[in-house]
């Protein structure tokens, strides 16, 4: 069910939520967190769909805030939608569209709608503030999620992350690497246990996760790592492969299809591994599983990324 509340206030929205719970039996006590989504007009639905899917694992209240610039034809007004039931997955979705000066106090718009005594997570699916931890929504959130891949210059966005990182920050450029990191770690846990002397990461242009992977490898292995973002032979974007060099022969993990990677090792048969590309829902659900600061990510961003030189087209 979607309830439209044009030209309203947050107090009226909060009252309507209470009425819906009393009439329909929806219980807010089952929600484990509040997710704040800061997006732009017309870009809300993809983020809401991902949040609805993730809510089946993490029941939550979702508050979507779109602040429309003053030059828009509508000024100084707050429109809202409340979505429950089949239109909200296992969550309650509140969509706020703030026009003009009404949107100047983002924190004030959402504070009265936060679930009491639960963590707050802020997510910017698109453009993010320069320093999210000091933004109005970031100040009230325990975890702040951005996506370097959605910025105007994804690789430059990584440099910004390394300069502005604060504990609790997270980025989907890192979350998309979980399957790659898991598989590479598993390979190195097998004989012959020889040291890696160098590593190489190849990717399609402007894919920030490749540089993040190179930074992680350099920190973990303590060897030179190259990052080549000039690969154009794929019909899909993303990381093409990783090559780890050691004396007995190279280890190569290469994506051959969008959902399949091929592992080649000396003196062992070639293996094709299921390694699907991660969806927005997968990344969001993973970040919501742990709301404490990710220390490994923090080290990669602050220590590893500045050391990586990218070869770009």
Q: What is the pLDDT of residues 92-107, one digit of tens each?
A: 899 999 998 888 899 9
Average pLDDT over residues 53-71: 88
Is the pLDDT reported for residue 135 higher than 90?
A: yes
Residue 69 pLDDT class (50, 70, 90 cuts): confident
- The confidence score (pLDDT) of residue 76 equals 85
Cα separation, 220 vs 64, in Å, equals: 38
Cα separation, 2 vs 76, in Å, equals: 23
Cα 11 off chain centre by: 30
Q: Which long-range contacts (CB under 8 A, 24 or more apart) does 248-251 make?
A: 248/192, 248/194, 251/187
Report helix, strand or coil for 182: helix
Mean pLDDT over each residue of the chain, to the nearest integer: 92
**199 beta partners:** 225, 244
Is the pLDDT reported for residue 26 higher than 60?
A: no
244 close to 190: Cβ distance less than 8 angstroms: no
Is the pLDDT reported for residue 74 higher than 80?
A: no
Cα separation, 123 vs 138, in Å, equals: 9
Is the pLDDT reported for residue 68 higher than 90?
A: no
More confidently predicted of 76 and 49: 49
Q: CA-CA-CA-CA torsion for 305, 36, 50, 153, nearest 10 degrees? A: -30
Cα separation, 56 vs 231, in Å, equals: 37
pTM of the model: 0.93
- The confidence score (pLDDT) of residue 313 equals 65
The 3-class SS string of 228-272 reads: EECCCCCCCCCEEEEEEECCCCCEEEEEEECCEEEEECCCCCCEE
Residue 173 pLDDT class (50, 70, 90 cuts): very high
Rounded to whole angstroms, what are the CA distances from 162 to 59, 130, 148? 32, 12, 12
Average pLDDT over residues 152-174: 96
């Amino acid at each position: 069910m979607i309830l439209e509340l044009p030209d309203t206030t947050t107090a009226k929205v909060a009252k309507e939520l209470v009425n819906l719970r009393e009439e329909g039996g929806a219980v807010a006590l089952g929600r484990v967190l509040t997710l704040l989504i800061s997006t732009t007009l017309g870009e809300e639905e993809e983020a809401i769909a991902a949040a609805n899917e993730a809510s089946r694992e993490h029941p939550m209240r979702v508050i979507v805030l779109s602040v429309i610039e003053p030059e828009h034809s509508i000024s100084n007004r707050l429109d809202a939608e409340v979505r429950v039931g089949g239109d909200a997955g296992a969550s309650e979705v509140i969509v706020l569209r703030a026009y003009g000066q009404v949107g100047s106090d983002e924190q004030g718009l959402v504070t009265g709608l936060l679930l009491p005594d639960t963590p707050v997570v802020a997510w910017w699916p698109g453009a993010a503030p320069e320093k999210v931890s000091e933004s109005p929504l970031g100040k009230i959130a325990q975890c702040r999620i951005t996506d370097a891949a959605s910025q105007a210059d994804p690789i430059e966005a990584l440099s910004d992350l390394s300069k502005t990182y604060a504990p609790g920050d997270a980025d989907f450029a890192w979350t998309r690497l979980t399957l790659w990191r898991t598989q590479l770690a598993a390979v190195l846990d097998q004989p012959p246990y020889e040291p890696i002397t160098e590593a190489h990461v190849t990717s399609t242009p402007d894919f920030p996760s490749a540089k993040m992977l190179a930074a992680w490898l350099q920190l973990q292995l303590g060897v030179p790592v190259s990052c080549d973002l000039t690969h154009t032979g794929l019909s899909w974007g993303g990381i093409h492969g990783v090559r780890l060099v050691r004396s007995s022969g190279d280890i190569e993990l290469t994506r051959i299809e969008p959902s399949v990677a091929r592992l080649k090792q000396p003196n062992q048969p070639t293996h094709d591994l299921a390694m699907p590309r991660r969806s927005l829902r997968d990344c969001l659900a993973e970040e919501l599983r742990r709301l404490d600061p990710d220390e490994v990510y923090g080290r990669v961003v602050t220590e590893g990324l500045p050391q990586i030189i990218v070869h770009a087209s």
